[in-house]
Structure 1
């Protein structure tokens, strides 16, 4: 039975390929893939549903057309209630909370909330046409879904001020140089680069990947000493796993491991 959270979606759709253990969340509101207020709630629910779906190992967030997203529906901000607006950052942080690896495939305009939800993903593969921006200053506003905070953690305060306070557009190559993007490829190569990353990630232990993601998220703002302590606890727990035993055995037998996620 199809999860009700995955159907009748506002401005996007979900495609699941059980054979490749992959789910695609596809923004599909041409021509600019504007993200509405209700859509943000639905995106959160979809990530939660896919996190619970045993068929899915890897999630890809992508879009139809030449632009990932030009951002939110501007008029919707004036119509939204204060209570609804207070949930914006929580909804857009759904990729970060998801225990599974999440890849953002960005091309063309990736502005506002489109940039913010991409920053919440684990990997950002961009094409050379990609332009990242947080243009809220042009509206007399600031980013409201975690964009400035996540960006500052990646590139530092000086570059974040340059992007946020000037509403600057950052090309894909510059995003790669600044550590925002994981990889930057020609536009025609975006899909196959994402496909290759999906296959690469699937080859690892799902248990070890979930552990690594949670550890890195939890220790992002910790002291080095605390982060090392957390790492030690996670390492110790994984030593008891079937996947670790399989990995060590496969290494000595010079074969590819067959991880089961236990």
Structure 2
């Protein structure tokens, strides 16, 4: 998709969410906006995937933020939609929800209030989870005679281990933002009235770094999730070697010695 086509697509009206682009701060926001609980419809997931892909290809965007209007991030999916969806549609749920992880650019999610079901699964696919103290994370599918179907239990187990994952999935237990920070799910946990400021601060922090080094680090870390240590070290060495020939690395070294701020261009 060309840049004009991408911009036209992102200027569209979307069901259940909206897209905001701040080119001056190289930031794009995907804002869940179906109050009061921001329920995520089945059809919405595929369009969300398309939006993440479009923002990843957008020249004016360095950092993507997923957030929501109101006191709750999302209470989860449209329950009735599960019974109405075709098997083919359901088979694509995990792929669509994994879109933030596939983005080359860093993706931040700002959570507050209920962050349940697919809302939690989308958050787990992001790179940085900023939680308000009001946040309640849960995978409550056992209450429906089901299990998480979009990567929730799998991603969670990688982060917190088998015992805590069974506690959350098999008992449908909720945990707070503070507990999520303690367990390694949340990157930060802040007072509710500081969530937006914490998000802005992280966006500006990430913008300081080389886009090329950020893309490389994200892909390397994601790809090495299941690799043996020896393979992970080997891959890190290859990526390090490639970055040594980049203009951004030269700029970083020269700026360091000149005691000035580096200006990275992603090259």
Shared topology, TM-score over 0.5? Answer: yes
For the aligned residue pairs, the C-alpha RMSD in angstroms reads 0.7
Structure 2 counterpart SS, 1:173: helix
Q: TM-score, normalised by structure 2?
A: 0.97
* Residue from 76, 92, 99 that aligns with 2:97: 92
Q: Could you tell me how far 1:4 is from its partner in structure 2?
A: 1.8
Alignment partner, residue 249 of structure 1: 254
Structure 1 CA distance, aligned partners of 2:212 and 2:101?
Answer: 17
Alignment partner, residue 111 of structure 1: 116
Note if 1:172 corresponds to 2:140. no
Alignment partner, residue 188 of structure 2: 183
Structure 2 runs not aligned, ≥5 long: none
Alignment partner, residue 133 of structure 2: 128
Q: Could you tell me how far 1:241 is from its partner in structure 2?
A: 0.2
Structure 2 CA distance, aligned partners of 1:118 and 1:6?
Answer: 24
2:76–2:115 contact (8 Å) kept in structure 1? yes
* Residue from 235, 244, 251 that aligns with 1:230: 235
Spell out structure 1 runs of 4+ moving beyond 2 A.
none
Alignment partner, residue 211 of structure 2: 206
Structure 1 runs not aligned, ≥5 long: none
1:27–1:64 contact (8 Å) kept in structure 2? yes
Note if 1:215 corresponds to 2:207. no
- Aligned pair count? 262
Structure 2 CA distance, aligned partners of 1:60 and 1:238?
Answer: 26
1:154–1:180 contact (8 Å) kept in structure 2? yes
2:251–2:262 contact (8 Å) kept in structure 1? yes
Q: Could you tell me how far 1:230 is from its partner in structure 2?
A: 0.5
